[in-house]
Amino acid sequence: MLVESPLTDRFARTFGYLRLSLTEKCNFSCSYCLPDGSECHSMEGDLSLIEIRRLVTAFALLGTQKIRLTGGEPSLRRDLCDIIKTCKNVAGINSVALTTNGFRLEKDVASWRAAGLDALNVSIDSLRPEMFQLITGSGKLRSILTGLDEAQALGFKQLKINTVLLREQNARELDDFLAFIKTRRITLRFIELMRTGDNADFFARQHLSGESIQQRLLSEGWTQKIRSANAGPAKEFIHPDYLGSIGLIMPYSKNFCADCNRLRVSSKAELYLCLFAEQHQSMRALLQRDDPQPLMNFLRAALQHKTASHDLQNQITGSTRHLAMIGG
């Protein structure tokens, strides 16, 4: 496939990674995201399979190689396997990944893999069933862990756990998490809680910097892996006695945005230049024609408005009320 000049912004960052939200709807009520549950009850107006194919084709022609399907909860889409296949079949796409809360993992992971899914992130905020229930509102931890074991046997290129660091809810479980990855070839990523429009009070109580974990890992013989170019914003740590590794995502750290390599599209076809931008442009009209060129022109022009960094340090969270709107 002939890639036209890759998507590049004013700060010489290139964007080969698209995070695509399939729906805002979610069936969990995570304390930091949707504590009162999802307000979105219908999936009407979410991107159709044809729109997804057109969108991914235009991105691929501009150098995108990796797609992550997210949400809301992407596995609520009945056509998830078709979406995975569709993305996989677009020339130039060499990796299709999924981020899920795992509620369908045990039942569906084999069919996702058979459809062509390459990589999987499962969000698990606690390994203790009561704490998991308290954080997510779900009693499915056991089934999610069984699904994760199945996923390990299916030969995914990458298998990761996402854990949002919460001062009062899971910060004391570091030993459990480390024991969990000792014998499993999994990357467990601690994500610092991000402030969004809806969670200011929760953030003030629960935010914990990843620095404390980094210090502890370094003092216990973990070393930071050298990152490849365009590896994204996580720092990764390894230890000779552990099969798995630990990732740290620290969005409040200096220069976090310097390595930004991703763009986001909502399930309503809006382009998000940043998780925390104020305004987003709709691409819906451009997706009604089977011609990638106008969409590519739009994307090239839009990229020139991407800012150097988010402004979270100044409590500016843009129009993002919670990350279920766009997928984190």
Q: Judged by CB under 6 A, which of 72, 147, 251, 318 binds ligand SF4?
A: 72
The H or E element that residue 121 is part of is strand 119-123
Q: How far is the CB of 122 from ligand SF4 (least distance, A)?
A: 10
147 touching ligand SF4, by CB under 6 A: no
67 touching ligand SF4, by CB under 6 A: no
Out of ligand SAM, ligand SF4, none, which partner does residue 115 contact, by CB within 5 to 8 A per kind?
A: none
Stretch that binds ligand SAM, among 97-105, 173-181, 299-307, 309-317 (CB under 6 A): 97-105
Stretch that binds ligand SAM, among 66-74, 260-268, 283-291, 312-320 (CB under 6 A): 66-74
Per 3-state DSSP, the chain is made up of helix, strand and coil in percentages (nearest 5) of 35, 15, 50
Out of ligand SAM, ligand SF4, none, which partner does residue 138 contact, by CB within 5 to 8 A per kind?
A: none
Residue sitting closest to ligand SAM (CB): 328
Which among 197, 233, 203 has a CA at the least distance from the CA of 316? Answer: 197
Residues listed for the chain:
328
Q: How far is the CB of 223 from ligand SAM (least distance, A)?
A: 25
Which among 249, 252, 279, 251 has a CA at the least distance from the CA of 266? Answer: 279
Q: Judged by CB under 6 A, which of 31, 57, 64, 123 binds ligand SAM?
A: 123
Q: How far is the CB of 246 from ligand SF4 (least distance, A)?
A: 20
Q: Judged by CB under 6 A, which of 7, 18, 26, 296 binds ligand SF4?
A: 26
- Range 104-123, binding ligand SF4 (CB under 6 A): 123
Per residue, what are the HEC states of 67-105? EEEECCCHHHCCCHHHHHHHHHHCCCCCEEEEEECCCCH
Q: Which two tokens stand for residue 136?
A: 């997510």
Sign, CA dihedral 270-271-277-279, equals negative
| b/e burial code for range 286-312 (CB count within 10 A of at least 16 → b) | bbeeeebeebbebbeebbeebeeebeb
> Do residues 80 and 71 make contact, with C-beta atoms less than 8 angstroms apart?
no
Name beta bridge partners: 282. Answer: 270
Query: Per-residue contact track with ligand SAM, 191 to 210, x per CB under 6 A?
Result: x-xx-x--x-----------
Residues lying near ligand SAM in the complex (CB under 6 A):
26, 32-33, 70-71, 73, 99-101, 123, 162, 164, 191, 193-194, 196, 199, 323-324, 327-328
Residues lying near ligand SF4 in the complex (CB under 6 A):
26, 28-30, 33-34, 71-73, 101, 123, 324
